[in-house]
Copies of this chain bind each other. A is one copy, B any other.
């Protein structure tokens, strides 16, 4: 089971107000990704704890009372596990994940633990109200690259048909072992590591039904497809 609060499409359209607490997200899983109000940075959920990397490259453990407009989480139980001992780029590795899952038509959750030759991440800069389309803040997102860093990638693969609900393809966040650095993964090279994959049978899509702005706004989903591809 994969639990998602909010949709990426709604976030892209500029509905950035937090509508669920991090604690309420953690009730549905122990591994995941998300962001905070204003699309502030990158949330990484690993082993039941939520962490946050902001645009200033600051890293902290969340208390749980923070609000999120968009988060995806799963009670992670791997169906597939394999290791790699040669340097592998993200495209090659993620193709291997899909080959082992045997399908591009279901969601899967991944956890990649190891030493990374290169880890290239970004952190989304926080918007202040009144919020605009996410692509506006994405244009100025700071990026960071680390070499020879140990840590864990967590995230999800979404089928093409769900582009708009989530980002089709892989959407991955990184956290280092020291819990001092992380972000939204742009690309990486894994030196050696363990890859665990969970096949997802059910997507539980939750809507912020108590948020008046979400309920009543005439959300403009034009260009959402391209916006997501450009932003993510």
Chain A residues engaging chain B, CB cutoff 8 angstroms = 7, 9-10, 102-107, 160-162, 164-165, 199-207, 209, 214-219, 221, 224
Q: How far is the CB of A213 from chain B (nearest CB, A)?
A: 10
- A139→B7 CA distance, assembly (Å): 34
User: Is A207's CB under 8 angstroms from B10's CB?
Assistant: no
With A103-B215, A215-B106 as known contacts, state yes or no: A7 contacts B161, CB within 8 Å.
Answer: yes
Q: How far is the CB of A227 from chain B (nearest CB, A)?
A: 13
Q: Which residues of B contact A207 (CB under 8 A)?
A: 105-107, 200-203
Q: How far is the CB of A13 from chain B (nearest CB, A)?
A: 9
Q: Which residues of B contact A205 (CB under 8 A)?
A: 202-205
- A103→B203 CA distance, assembly (Å): 22
- A139→B134 CA distance, assembly (Å): 41
- A61→B202 CA distance, assembly (Å): 28
With A205-B202, A207-B201, A209-B201 as known contacts, state yes or no: A219 contacts B105, CB within 8 Å.
Answer: yes
With A204-B204, A216-B103 as known contacts, state yes or no: A161 contacts B209, CB within 8 Å.
Answer: no
User: Is A221's CB under 8 angstroms from B161's CB?
Assistant: yes
- A199→B107 CA distance, assembly (Å): 26
CB-nearest residue of chain B relative to A215? Answer: B103
Q: How far is the CB of A220 from chain B (nearest CB, A)?
A: 10
User: Is B214's CB under 8 angstroms from A105's CB?
Assistant: yes
Q: Which of B160, B199, B217 is A221 in contact with, Cβ under 8 Å?
A: B160
Between A and B, 16 residue pairs with Cβ closer than 8 Å are A9-B161, A10-B105, A102-B215, A105-B214, A105-B217, A105-B219, A106-B215, A107-B207, A160-B219, A161-B164, A162-B165, A165-B165, A200-B207, A201-B207, A203-B203, A203-B205
Q: Which residues of B contact A221 (CB under 8 A)?
A: 160-161
Q: Which residues of B contact A218 (CB under 8 A)?
A: 104
Q: How far is the CB of A103 from chain B (nearest CB, A)?
A: 4
Q: Which residues of B contact A201 (CB under 8 A)?
A: 206-207, 209
Q: Which residues of B contact A107 (CB under 8 A)?
A: 207
Q: How far is the CB of A84 from chain B (nearest CB, A)?
A: 24
CB-nearest residue of chain B relative to A103? Answer: B215
User: Is B209's CB under 8 angstroms from A199's CB?
Assistant: yes
